[in-house]
Amino acid sequence: MQKIFKPVLIIIFSLGICFASDAPNLFNVEKWVATSGMKVSFVKVPNKIINIKLIFDAGSARDGKNYGLAALTSSLVDAGGATLSLDQIANSFDSVGAIYGSSISKDYATISLQSAVGHGYVEKAFSIFIDVIAAPNFSDKDFNRAKDQTMQSIKIMQQDPEKVAFQQFFHELYQGHPYGHLKYGSLETVKALTKKDVESFYRNYYAAANASLVIVGDVDISDAKHIAAKIDEALPAGEPAPVQKLAVSNGAKHKKISHSSSQSTLIFGKLGIAANNKDFFALELGSHILGGGMKSRLSEDIREKQGLVYGVYSAFIPMKLIGPYFITMQTKAQNTKAADEGVHKVVDIFISDGVTAVELAQAKNVINGRIYNKFTTNAGIASALASQLFYNLPEDYFLTYADKINEVSLGDVNKIIKKYMSLKDSSSIIVGPNEQEK
């Protein structure tokens, strides 16, 4: 048996916390709206560090038909500023020990900064940060470099059967919607992108009115408001991105893709929930019990008892629009049919019989204990609050998270799993060798 299969696609959008007396930070969130309409959250943490996180409604869902445009733009944001080149930006951040980063998902793009407080470090790091976001310099050289790197990354991903499987799963599930394409695009679509496309995307979506800002760290409220005002002034004013809709069929799609790998990757799933769905808490528990860890129903039966898979897990990915629910596994090619049938049998029993009181209590303990650790750093708090702003979650979302988890009854979770977690009418993707190659 090969090494244990590790999930690579689980996307944590924002999770709660089991609060204790030594973690009071999220009880004291200061919130305001900047002149442009940019929403701001601030938490003071006296630890000599500051984290600044900008989140834009500029994920790959905003690509239109220019698949890969959002990701390419994100990769170029720090390529050069109004006065500094790529190397100068990197060296300047390094000189004060600051950490700059940008990232992209299907829903949003982020730009972040972490710096020490004191000795002028944060002042210098912030001035560089402003230089970067105010006037990024999309030079021909940097654009071509980033474009080539993106295309190389796509070629590498095409060699990974799991990535191929997930790409196809999203494609079949969301059809013509931008959620259905790989966030990096395809070789064809990226090749067609121009520097003008990137400049236009940045101008339209990296705007103050299309952003939320989180500041977490060892500064006073007056300093936080000064930082927010400077960012608000530096960014183009712009407008909020238009509201998107999800108009796709949830009909089952089935596809087998031939791949040179010696094993098969299987994915079953369908549309699940959006990030602000009230059923999230019950589903978080139900999904954990079914396939959320080594002691889950699927892992205990399909992996441990039958030895059919290297690893198996289930997950919901709550997104701004309806995200997917899926079960995925990797197995020896000759075990593909048995693993397929075994998983469906476990899920059918799970749905018909429901979870037990013992399973529910254990899941609550695991989730509350695991999530607490995500809020022990500035960066963890900043990421959570940014997601709260972006997904328009309730003001008391984190304060009441543990209560919401603990309030889920056995009847609640057994009702909810029947509503969402059956594999009836689900899509399936199998990526692996052909029958004659097994």
Question: What CA dihedral angle connects 63, 69, 73 and 76, to 10 degrees?
Answer: 170
> Which of 305, 280, 301 lies closest to 397, judged by CA?
280
Helices and strands (H, E) in the chain, number of each type: 15, 11
> Which of 318, 144, 115, 365 lies closest to 223, judged by CA?
115
**How many alpha carbons lie under 13 Å from residue 133 in its C-beta half-sphere?**
31
Are 351 and 284 in contact by the 8 Å Cβ rule? The answer is: no
Give this prediction's pTM: 0.88
- Domains detected in the chain: 27-234 (3.30.830.10), 254-437 (3.30.830.10)
Low-confidence residues of the chain: pLDDT under 70 = 1-27, 249-250, 435-438
Percent helix / strand / coil, the chain, rounded to 5: 45, 20, 35
What is residue 25's predicted lDDT score, i.e. its pLDDT?
Answer: 56
What is residue 435's predicted lDDT score, i.e. its pLDDT?
Answer: 56
- What amino acid occupies position 131? D
DSSP string across 349-407: HHHHH---HHHHHHHHHHHHHHHHGGGSSHHHHHHHHHHHHHTT--TTTTTTHHHHHHH
